Amino acid sequence: MPALLGAQQFHIYRMRRDGKKRDELFQIVTENAADMIALVDVKGRRLYNSPAYKRILGYSPAELSETSAFEQIHPDDRYKILEAAREARSTGVGKKLEYRIRHKDGSWRVLESVAGTIRDQNGDVSKLVIVNRDITDRKRAEEQAEHNSFHDSLTGLPNRRLFLDRLEHVFERSRRGHGPQFAVLFVDLDRFKAFNDTMGTSVGDQVIAEVGRRLGACLREEDTAARPGGDPGAHHAVLSRLGGDEFTILIEAIRDPSDAMRVGQRILAALAALFLVEGREVQTSASIGIALSTAAHIRGEDALQDAEAAARRAQALGGGRCELYDEAMHARAVGRLKLESELRAALEKQEFRLFYQPIVQLESGDIRGFEALVRWQHPGQGLISPDKFLAAAEDSGLLAATGEWILRTACRQLQHWTEAMPGSEALAVAVNVSPRQLAGERFAHGVEKILWETGLAPERLHLELGESVADAEAQLAESVLARLKSLHVRVTLDDFGAGHSSLAALQRLPLDAVKIDRPLVAAMLADRRRMEMLELIITIGQRLRLKTIAVGVESARQVERLRAIGCDLGQGYYFSPPVDAAAAEKLLRQHTLGAARAADAR
């Protein structure tokens, strides 16, 4: 006989020896066990729940009999339980399982359970005995320890370890060519050690915690600032406290170095505001270093080192500033940010101008419409071409406002000509739309509004889209275009024959016309193969009932050939370069007068 203690154990021993009252034995053990013990039949119906249920989950046996065990289990864990029960029934062995169950007070408890099986006389499994142990407190402690090992206790931010982990992940993605370029910002508070020494570490800690909050707020702001005008979630970022007075930020996707620079400057501005600590006002500033991922990096950590080196340079230059690791890149990014702020002012001061280039029917020589082309009338530098500033306008979030101004001005101008010049009722205006502009959430709405305001017939507005529209955000573009098409706005595919997905764009977009890429037209007379390409494009256009427009027509011989192979329309210096509205109106008058005179003579 084993060395058992106490009367109850002795009682158990005797019963087992007798081998008779197994049920009674079961009851005594379960009634007294710390763990929750349940007996269920093969259908999962409750046959018995031990008293520990009341203590751990708050339900009395009577209450339990009225509730479904399954419904108390966390929905995400139910499948796991079903699987385990099925396995226990078929194999006779239950494996250890963790799941969450609801306490009567509504909170979740975590249980660890093992199931055993009871067989009937035929040897079939008839019941399951489930022993559940409450491991909620242990789990909580484990989670807390896990969180603590990846977070900084003062700011609650990710720590160096978690940051490096994230950095390596993003680095790998970018290196395998699946991910975009990323940036690392290293933020180091200026003269913080001296500050700590004079003010005391408790004040220092409070400043650090507040810096963490301000940095977080900057990133959230940047995240939302990136949204209007499309490109959702362009700036997903990870902020961490590296240690001491050093913070790091990983911006997972950037389009241009100036994006990272903009975040850096936003941070400098946020830190410049006074801190109120223990009733005292204190001021701080930071040296920020920025590095972009490059092919020269072998590990993600290399980018962090570059960023730190740049921060040291910022510090050496007096602090309170933001430096890019690559000095040439730094100069470009600064130039870019300057350009962006000038552009913002240009929009307010109305320095943009629209020029108009006639689109001519090759057969008759009649002007059928104009392409609107934007220019920037810079006070110091004269007329600036769109290639030099449109990308910057897009990146700085000015795209939607600029695009709307262009559309409205073009539509108003056409409406003005219609009213001023009889015979111009059929003229069209073509307006270029970039993919990001089209993807902007308010684009279709903006077009509707402008058509309504100006009263222009929708079929006289032709939107020129590049093929990348079909590529980029295909589904979105399709739904926006469908909406515009339902208004009867016309759609032209720009630069046809230039890219690699022109044919895909032809299939996807609801087109009315295609514009043939300028280099193709330029080379048509000199290069036999190009000529054949051009003829093919025109044939495709005719088959699909799309108008074909040749861009960059510069000579009478080109006009002749284009007309001979059936191209519908032409645009280029041969007819006229883009000109301002007054000159375009003059062209129209000469042209309509000329046409009228020709008609008179006949």
Residues contributing to the site for ligand C2E (CB under 6 A) = 357, 372-374, 385-387, 390, 406, 432-434, 464, 494-495, 518, 551-554, 571-573, 578
Q: Which does 499 bind (CB under 5 to 8 A by kind): Ca ion, ligand C2E, none?
A: none
The residue of the chain with the least Cβ separation from ligand C2E equals 572
Nearer of residues 164 and 429 to ligand C2E, judged by Cβ:
429
Locate the DSSP E strands across 177-231.
183-189
Q: Select the residue interacting with Ca ion from 418, 432, 434, 571 (CB under 5 A).
A: 432
Closest CA to 277 of 193, 190, 188, 201: 201
Q: What is the dihedral of CA 327, 330, 335, 337, to 10 degrees?
A: -170
Burial 526-565 (b: 16+ CB within 10 A, else e): eeeebbebbbebbebbeeeebbbbbbbbeeeebbebbbeb
Tokens encoding 167: 């950095």
Q: Which does 264 bind (CB under 5 to 8 A by kind): ligand C2E, Ca ion, none?
A: none
Nearer of residues 222 and 404 to ligand C2E, judged by Cβ:
404
Nearer of residues 308 and 494 to Ca ion, judged by Cβ:
494
Tokens encoding 23: 């049920």
Nearer of residues 208 and 550 to ligand C2E, judged by Cβ:
550
**Minimum CB separation from Ca ion for residue 494, in Å?**
4
Q: Which does 51 bind (CB under 5 to 8 A by kind): ligand C2E, Ca ion, none?
A: none
Q: What is the full DSSP assignment across 528-587?
A: HHHHHHHHHHHHHHHHTT-EEEEE----HHHHHHHHHTT--EEESTTT---B-HHHHHHH
Q: What's the half-sphere exposure (Cβ side, CA atoms, 13 Å) at 138?
A: 7
Q: What is the full DSSP assignment across 372-383?
A: EEEEEEETTTEE
Q: Is the torsion defined by CA of 86, 87, 88, 94 positive or negative?
A: negative
Q: Select the residue interacting with Ca ion from 245, 464, 467, 568 (CB under 5 A).
A: 464
Q: Which does 434 bind (CB under 5 to 8 A by kind): Ca ion, ligand C2E, none?
A: ligand C2E
Q: Which does 183 bind (CB under 5 to 8 A by kind): ligand C2E, Ca ion, none?
A: none
Nearer of residues 386 and 446 to ligand C2E, judged by Cβ:
386
**Minimum CB separation from ligand C2E for residue 448, in Å?**
19
Nearer of residues 222 and 495 to ligand C2E, judged by Cβ:
495
Q: Which does 385 bind (CB under 5 to 8 A by kind): Ca ion, ligand C2E, none?
A: ligand C2E
**Minimum CB separation from ligand C2E for residue 540, in Å?**
19
Q: Which does 374 bind (CB under 5 to 8 A by kind): Ca ion, ligand C2E, none?
A: ligand C2E
**Minimum CB separation from Ca ion for residue 433, in Å?**
9
Closest CA to 250 of 325, 178, 164, 320: 164
Contact yes or no for 581/356 (Cβ under 8 A)? yes
Cα-based distances in Å from 32 to 2, 23, 462: 20, 14, 83
Report the distance separating Cα 216 and Cα 223, nearest Å: 11
Q: Which does 58 bind (CB under 5 to 8 A by kind): ligand C2E, Ca ion, none?
A: none
Nearer of residues 79 and 573 to ligand C2E, judged by Cβ:
573
Tokens encoding 390: 């449109």
Is 467 an interacting residue with respect to Ca ion (CB under 5 A)?
no
**Minimum CB separation from ligand C2E for residue 368, in Å?**
15
Helical residues (DSSP H) of 226-299, grouped into ranges: 257-272
Query: Which residues are near Ca ion by CB under 5 A?
Result: 432, 464, 494
